[in-house]
Amino acid sequence: MISCRIIILFIALIFCGCAGHNPSFEEIEFRAPSQPSMTLQPLLVNVDHIGVLCLSNITSTKELDIQKVLALLSNATLRGLSKLKDITIVSQDEILWKMNDISFDSTSVYQKQVQTRLQEELDIDAVVLIELRELQTRILPLPPTSYGMKTNPGIDMSLDLQISLVNVRTNETWKQGGKQRNVEPVRLQLLGNNKQGERQLLMSLSRPMQRFIYRIAPPAKTQKRYFNMRGD
């Protein structure tokens, strides 16, 4: 057994030596697709259509349009998932238009009847479900700077976001979530365009979404290989 390993190592060293010194071999650098994380790969077996749903039962206010923010988050998620090779991404708009008789909530995707319709009507194999489950905001006075200068008060935003990947054919589910907090100073608003809350909420939601996108559709990696450039 030991002798076999030595022979294999010897052959590998010879090959590397040839590649390093033989002028017919050239080192080529290229970008190669990366695989999803090992945790998510079982849920993506035989999946070629993924739907996206961003949901919340939180009521919008004049200062904070929840549905507008979730629509922006949904579009950003579509762009991130588009890096998945050989997988078609189905938008929330298309799902809601095709299945307009269903009021989607946090439990709908897990119902067998809904899963069957997603498969039959939209050919969807899996769903990325994004749920804003809790949101609290308050004005927080900030302490003065080290030079004794006064600072603007801050918007203290606490939220609970859950991201799920649901295979609607096998009902396997993976979840990522938890509460997080974000505090930003109140900025001067011009002409009544008070959209800081929406921008702050979108940024707060984007961070966990970016982590999820990196797990399911990681960026391509640079690799180097030796190739015989003589063509024989």
CATH code of the domain in which 204 resides: 3.40.50.10610
Q: Which of 52-56, 104-108, 218-222 has the lowest mean pLDDT?
A: 218-222
Other CB atoms within 10 Å distance of the CB of residue 183:
13
Q: Which of 26-35, 43-52, 66-75 has the lowest mean pLDDT?
A: 26-35
* Amino acid 153: pLDDT: 74
Residues 10 and 89 in one domain: no
Domain count across the chain: 2
Residues 11 and 75 in one domain: no
Residue 201 has pLDDT above 80, yes or no: yes
State which residues form the domain around 46: 37-216
Residues 77 and 159 in one domain: yes
* Amino acid 85: pLDDT: 85
Two structure tokens written together for 178: 């938890």
Residue 148 has pLDDT above 60, yes or no: no
Residues 26 and 93 in one domain: no
Residues 22 and 52 in one domain: no
Residue 48 has pLDDT above 90, yes or no: yes
Distances (CA, A) of 49 to 79, 88, 90, 158, 201: 14, 5, 7, 33, 29
pLDDT band at 182; cut points 50, 70, 90: confident
Percent of the chain clearing pLDDT 90 (strictly above): 48
Q: Of the candidates 166, 159, 224, 163, which has an alpha carbon nearest to the alpha carbon of residue 197?
A: 159
Residues 20 and 121 in one domain: no
* Amino acid 224: pLDDT: 64
Asked if residue 225 lies in contact with residue 28, where contact means CB atoms within 8 angstroms, the answer is: yes
Asked if residue 129 lies in contact with residue 163, where contact means CB atoms within 8 angstroms, the answer is: yes
Residues 54 and 158 in one domain: yes
Mean pLDDT confidence for 13-29: 56
Mean pLDDT confidence for 80-103: 93
* Amino acid 64: pLDDT: 87
pLDDT band at 229; cut points 50, 70, 90: low
Residues 29 and 122 in one domain: no
Residues 157 and 192 in one domain: yes
Residue 220 host element (H or E): none
Radius of gyration from C-alpha coordinates of the chain: 25
Strand 25-32 with 49-56, pairing: unpaired
* Amino acid 194: pLDDT: 57
Mean pLDDT confidence for 95-122: 93
Residue 120 has pLDDT above 60, yes or no: yes
Residues 4 and 41 in one domain: no
Residues 138 and 126 in one domain: yes
Residues 7 and 73 in one domain: no
* Amino acid 99: pLDDT: 95
